[in-house]
Chains A and B, each alone.
Chain A
Amino acid sequence: MSELRFDHVSVRYGSRSTGLTAVDDVSLTIPSGSVVGLVGESGSGKSTLARAAIGLAPVTGGAITLDGVDVAKLRRRHPIQMVFQDPFSSLDPRMAIGESIAEMIPRGTFSSAAAKRAEVGRLLKLVNLDPDRAGSLPGALSGGQRQRIGLARALAARPEVIIADEITSALDVSVQGSVLNLVRNVCAELELTMLFISHNLSVVRYLSDYIAVMYLGHIVELGPVDEVLNNAKHPYTRELLASVPTRNGNLLAVDPAAPMDVEPADPHHPPSGCRFNPRCPIGPLVHPERQICVQSAPQLPTTPGHATACHFADLTRGRVPQPFEPSW
């Protein structure tokens, strides 16, 4: 059992006057052995949430627990490991990949150097790399291969939870698939719990059991992946879905009601009430009588299943963007 739970977690950087609350009162549970996909635009706080779980960002409010134990007290065991976004900065260019992996093996696990080497070989084989390459430097490897090393290194620490932060966004599409397939197989095989962060909804959908949508430090929608994607209730989730370039979509279609060219909000000065209200197509910009959106922040219901933090979520169903015919 390894259930990762974020309980009213806040992460705040900087001083009171110039600071920034990157993650604001976020509660999220990742059930044991399942994959939660976390989506949101840059600056929404999704990477900060992940870094807080491995102790790289300061938790200024709430608690992050693994099976009920505060992760800050589990530092000796390091049960949560992360695979990073940039395959070129996540490996020490001066260290052979085998050494990088061996460094993560908990001390005292293997008595002899030979056993440690065998473990490195096993991990390399697990991520479909030739164990003979343990001596190569990262410079000799492609981006996709480096991401596999990143995964092997995370697995070396014998984790219960893997956090994958945009692990394919720096890769070409032709190798993206192999990394995603690998992550999915390994996590299923080792029964790992995973928080999978990506801005690419198609990728998140492919890998995740549940999906959480973040906007400006808040989770605005949460639920089983099919439920959220097929029946999105929050206007932000709907906007995200409409923006995904797909083969059947129509990116250039215009929804006449949506205030499209509004700038993304400044996280240093978040808007009052619902943080999405200055951009919202069903909010006070379009419906001036909906002042509640400016006055009070909608709460995410704690009931299990599909939850939305929106005052008017239930009124949005069935509303689709008007098709727009391109000029050709």
Chain B
Amino acid sequence: MPTRLKWLSIVRSPVGATATVLVLIVALLAIFAPLLWGAQAEAIDTAGTQQGPSAEHLLGTDALGRDVLARVLIATQLSVALAVIAVVIGVTVGTLLGTAPSVLPRWAARLVVGIVNIAVAFPGLLLALFLAAVFGVGATGAVFAIGLAMAPSFARLTQTMSAAIAGRDFISAARAAGVSRLRVLIRHVLPNIAEPLIVNATVAAGGALLAFAGLSFLGIGVQVPAYDWGKLLSEGLNRIYINPAAAFGPAVAVVVAGLAFNLLGETAASVAGGRVATGRWTLSPLPQPATRTAPAFPNVSVGTILSIENLRVSYPTPNGLVHPVRGVSFEVREGEALGVVGESGSGKSLTALAASRLIEPPGVVDADRLEFNGIQMLTAPEKTIRGLLGTSLAMVFQDPMTSFNPTRRIGSQLAEAAQEHQGMSKKDAMKRAVKQLQAVRVPAATRRAEQYPHEFSGGMRQRAMIAMGLMNSPKLIIADEPTTALDVTVQRQVLRLLERVRTDTNAAILLISHDIAVVSQSCERVLVMYAGRVVEDLPTAELYTGARHPYTRALLEVVPDLDTDREQPLGVIPGRPPAPGEVPLGCAFAARCPLATVQCRESDPELETHRGKHRVACWNPVGGDTRVTLPELSTAAPRTEAAPVATVGGAQ
């Protein structure tokens, strides 16, 4: 979302609006108060000293009869200015100290890091008091004291953030081209850490304001005749029992200005960090999908383990709902290996997550039917779903490191699943865990069960993940890119393991992959997804010979193989898939399809049975008899309703 839009939506939020109003008030006062009430604040009235609140002096008068309210308002300028100057000093010194290690020679860098680390450990206000004593009593001393006290924490922040940036490849690229370290720092590192620095500086300004009030209150800050809120507070406090309003006024001013700075920082942080409320409409209930039509097949056929009909996944965005999955229907039969392929953003992973009800809010899942092993997943209570996961439904993810708890031994994590769902004793569960690790061929399973996840290599972790799924004899294993992070040799081992599990336990497997070759080698049937829809569903045996959707054909064309002709350029699918919010009216692939016609651009073809178990969603399927004549037919079709009648091409 563009930054300007983000700011707008921020300003509309309650916190953002409050921050904006408060900051505006403080800023206006700082600029205009001395012009408006200057004379009043300096007017000495010996007759009316130390008066209480009255219509003339809302907060009373001080020891010289000057109006306290006017003085509080005028003190805004000095108080805010001192705070801002201190922050500028703190941020500048901190940034210099924090970035120095990346340009200094190694020994000097270590020295700077050491000093900063010690300074960070020292309490800030104590440091300020110490420095105030060093620089002498007065506003200048206080500014330096507070500014320098702030520097170590900024130095540390800068160091940490620059270290994170320094590991990125664009820094390597610049260094490989001989760009000097100072230049790398100024041109690459600083711009990338500026945002969080500014956010922190804004929050720190609120803190500086309080610190100044504290120092002036203690008498080592601003000295007479100048005055800031701390000074006024200390004057007012001397006679708090006579005129509480004189202390109350500056106190409120400090709180309001401090709040203004802090809220501004918070607001800036939420813009920078992307924590933006996604717009007004998220607060209202999400639009419900149109009334459900009755499922085409009233009963799930025997032997079907997972039945999905017209599955939709929607996410709210500032521009309205988008549908990354738009009406997916398929069935998985007992013991079947079904592959789902598609490019990133095709909705294949979301489909798998939706099937197991693992989509987190604000995502919304809707379907005409979502039935697993006889359970209606959409209406089943949360408890039933949780019972399913880890028992009859196993999930294997791309990165098994994030799926295991890093602080617990592999064996006990596996055993936990059996203890929880089958009520096994700890000892029996542990035995079963070892047995399952052996079943997935983890060498030395008894010893490995005692190890932590980080002691496992990627391939072994993926085995352990599969073993965990097998603890409770699952009926379906959903594997989402289980081998993408693995080397090809290990990939082959994991695919073989899944195949062995399937033949041994008759568990069905839903394998999601971006690699059509992997799926064609390890599954019986393949679903090809594009822009949130299934465009083709066919047996893998027919994949290379009988695929009819131009996208499936194109995918097969562009993947280089060990016998690709090296004299020819590699195949390319021009263009890119539409973003979820920009799916066109007709077939989503039409813009990239060499066979697209007017009909394709105007209406989206249904996934229809071509022959036997082969389904395809295309107006002009490749290889059909009607392929040549179809374009004419469809251009002749009426613009508004490109009736499915025109789909003679193979649709039954």
**Inter-subunit contact B177/A202 (CB<8 Å):** no
Asked if B276 CB lies within 8 Å of chain A CBs, one says no
Q: List, in ascending order, chain A residues with CB within 8 A of B175's CB.
A: 55-56
Given contacts A245-B518, A263-B457, contact A90 B343 (CB under 8 A): no
Q: List, in ascending order, chain A residues with CB within 8 A of B555's CB.
A: 173-174
Asked if B514 CB lies within 8 Å of chain A CBs, one says yes
**Inter-subunit contact B564/A206 (CB<8 Å):** yes
Interface residues as binary, B434-449 with A (CB distance below 8 Å gives 1, 0 otherwise): 0000000111000000
For residue A90, give the distance in angstroms from its CB to the closest CB of chain B: 4
Report Cα–Cα, A67/B459, bound state, in Å.
Answer: 41
Which of A173, A175, A201 touches B562 (beta carbons < 8 Å)? Answer: A201
Which of A80, A157, A202 touches B560 (beta carbons < 8 Å)? Answer: A202
Asked if B331 CB lies within 8 Å of chain A CBs, one says no
**Inter-subunit contact B496/A252 (CB<8 Å):** yes
Which of B192, B460, B487 touches A92 (beta carbons < 8 Å)? Answer: B192
Which of B176, B488, B520, B570 touches A55 (beta carbons < 8 Å)? Answer: B176
Interface residues as binary, B541-571 with A (CB distance below 8 Å gives 1, 0 otherwise): 0001000000000111011111110100111
**Inter-subunit contact A173/B176 (CB<8 Å):** no
Which of B487, B499, B518 touches A41 (beta carbons < 8 Å)? Answer: B487
Nearest chain B residue, comparing its CB with the CB of A104: B177
Given contacts A175-B572, A181-B572, A251-B492, contact A244 B562 (CB under 8 A): yes
Q: List, in ascending order, chain A residues with CB within 8 A of B522's CB.
A: 251-252
Within 8 A of B (CB), among A284-314: none
**Inter-subunit contact A178/B572 (CB<8 Å):** yes
Given contacts A245-B517, A251-B521, contact A262 B492 (CB under 8 A): no
Q: List, in ascending order, chain A residues with CB within 8 A of B524's CB.
A: 328
Q: List, in ascending order, chain B residues with CB within 8 A of A202's CB.
A: 559-562, 564
**Inter-subunit contact B457/A94 (CB<8 Å):** no
Given contacts A90-B173, A173-B555, A246-B562, contact A181 B569 (CB under 8 A): yes
**Inter-subunit contact A93/B192 (CB<8 Å):** yes
**Inter-subunit contact A103/B179 (CB<8 Å):** yes
Which of B172, B493, B516, B564 touches A261 (beta carbons < 8 Å)? Answer: B493
Report Cα–Cα, A246/B571, bound state, in Å.
Answer: 16
Report Cα–Cα, A68/B572, bound state, in Å.
Answer: 40
Q: List, in ascending order, chain A residues with CB within 8 A of B493's CB.
A: 260-261
Given contacts A86-B169, A181-B572, contact A262 B457 (CB under 8 A): no
**Inter-subunit contact B343/A78 (CB<8 Å):** no
Q: List, in ascending order, chain B residues with CB within 8 A of A250's CB.
A: 521
**Inter-subunit contact B521/A173 (CB<8 Å):** no
Asked if B8 CB lies within 8 Å of chain A CBs, one says no
Interface segment, one of A3-11, A26-34, A235-243: A235-243
Which of B187, B191, B491, B499 touches A243 (beta carbons < 8 Å)? Answer: B491
Q: List, in ascending order, chain A residues with CB within 8 A of B518's CB.
A: 245, 251
Q: List, in ascending order, chain A residues with CB within 8 A of B176's CB.
A: 54-56, 78, 80-82
Interface residues as binary, A45-69 with B (CB distance below 8 Å gives 1, 0 otherwise): 0000001001110000000000000
Q: How many A-B residue pairs have CB under 8 A?
A: 181
Asked if A73 CB lies within 8 Å of chain B CBs, one says no
Q: List, in ascending order, chain B residues with CB within 8 A of A206's CB.
A: 560, 564, 566, 570
For residue B95, give the distance in angstroms from its CB to the closest CB of chain A: 16
Asked if B407 CB lies within 8 Å of chain A CBs, one says no
Per the CB 8 Å criterion, the residue count for chain A at the interface is 72
**Inter-subunit contact B169/A90 (CB<8 Å):** yes
**Inter-subunit contact A264/B562 (CB<8 Å):** no
Interface centre among B174, B458, B518 (most CB of A within 10 A): B174
Q: List, in ascending order, chain B residues with CB within 8 A of A85's CB.
A: 169
For residue B44, give the distance in angstroms from its CB to the closest CB of chain A: 56
Given contacts A84-B169, A247-B520, A254-B496, contact A173 B514 (CB under 8 A): yes
Report Cα–Cα, A283/B559, bound state, in Å.
Answer: 34
Q: List, in ascending order, chain B residues with CB within 8 A of A246's CB.
A: 517, 561-563
Q: List, in ascending order, chain A residues with CB within 8 A of B330's CB.
A: none
Q: List, in ascending order, chain B residues with CB within 8 A of A241's CB.
A: 562
Nearest chain A residue, comparing its CB with the CB of B343: A172
Q: List, in ascending order, chain B residues with CB within 8 A of A252's CB.
A: 495-496, 499, 521-522
Report Cα–Cα, A201/B570, bound state, in Å.
Answer: 15
Interface residues on B, range: 35 or more
Which of B487, B491, B503, B554 touches A327 (beta carbons < 8 Å)? Answer: B503
For residue B287, give the distance in angstroms from its CB to the closest CB of chain A: 30
Asked if B40 CB lies within 8 Å of chain A CBs, one says no
For residue B460, give the distance in angstroms from its CB to the closest CB of chain A: 6
Given contacts A153-B173, A247-B517, A252-B496, contact A94 B560 (CB under 8 A): no
Which of B170, B458, B460 touches A91 (beta carbons < 8 Å)? Answer: B170
Asked if B490 CB lies within 8 Å of chain A CBs, one says yes
**Inter-subunit contact B169/A89 (CB<8 Å):** yes
Given contacts A84-B169, A176-B558, contact A245 B515 (CB under 8 A): yes
Nearest chain B residue, comparing its CB with the CB of A84: B169
Nearest chain B residue, comparing its CB with the CB of A53: B176
**Inter-subunit contact B460/A263 (CB<8 Å):** yes
Asked if A75 CB lies within 8 Å of chain B CBs, one says yes
Report Cα–Cα, A327/B522, bound state, in Å.
Answer: 11
Asked if B361 CB lies within 8 Å of chain A CBs, one says no
Q: List, in ascending order, chain B residues with CB within 8 A of A89's CB.
A: 168-170
Asked if B252 CB lies within 8 Å of chain A CBs, one says no
Report Cα–Cα, A245/B503, bound state, in Å.
Answer: 21
Report Cα–Cα, A181/B560, bound state, in Å.
Answer: 12
Within 8 A of A (CB), among B501-521: 502-503, 514-518, 520-521
Asked if A249 CB lies within 8 Å of chain B CBs, one says yes
Asked if A186 CB lies within 8 Å of chain B CBs, one says no
Asked if A20 CB lies within 8 Å of chain B CBs, one says no
Asked if B25 CB lies within 8 Å of chain A CBs, one says no
**Inter-subunit contact B573/A174 (CB<8 Å):** yes
Report Cα–Cα, A95/B194, bound state, in Å.
Answer: 13
Q: List, in ascending order, chain B residues with CB within 8 A of A176's CB.
A: 558, 570
Asked if B344 CB lies within 8 Å of chain A CBs, one says yes
Asked if A122 CB lies within 8 Å of chain B CBs, one says no
Asked if B409 CB lies within 8 Å of chain A CBs, one says no
Q: List, in ascending order, chain B residues with CB within 8 A of A260's CB.
A: 441, 493, 496
Interchain Cβ contacts under 8 Å between A and B, 9 examples: A41-B489, A55-B176, A94-B188, A100-B170, A202-B561, A202-B562, A205-B560, A243-B492, A328-B524
Given contacts A144-B576, A202-B561, A326-B499, 4 further A-B contacts (CB under 8 A): A75-B178, A81-B177, A205-B560, A252-B496
10 nearest A-B pairs in the assembled complex, by CB-CB distance? A177-B570, A245-B517, A41-B487, A90-B169, A174-B573, A94-B191, A261-B441, A251-B521, A84-B169, A243-B488
Residues of A within 8 A of B (CB): 41-42, 51, 54-56, 75-76, 78, 80-82, 84-86, 89-95, 100, 103-104, 142, 144, 150, 153-154, 157, 172-178, 180-181, 184, 199-203, 205-206, 229, 239-252, 254, 260-264, 326-328
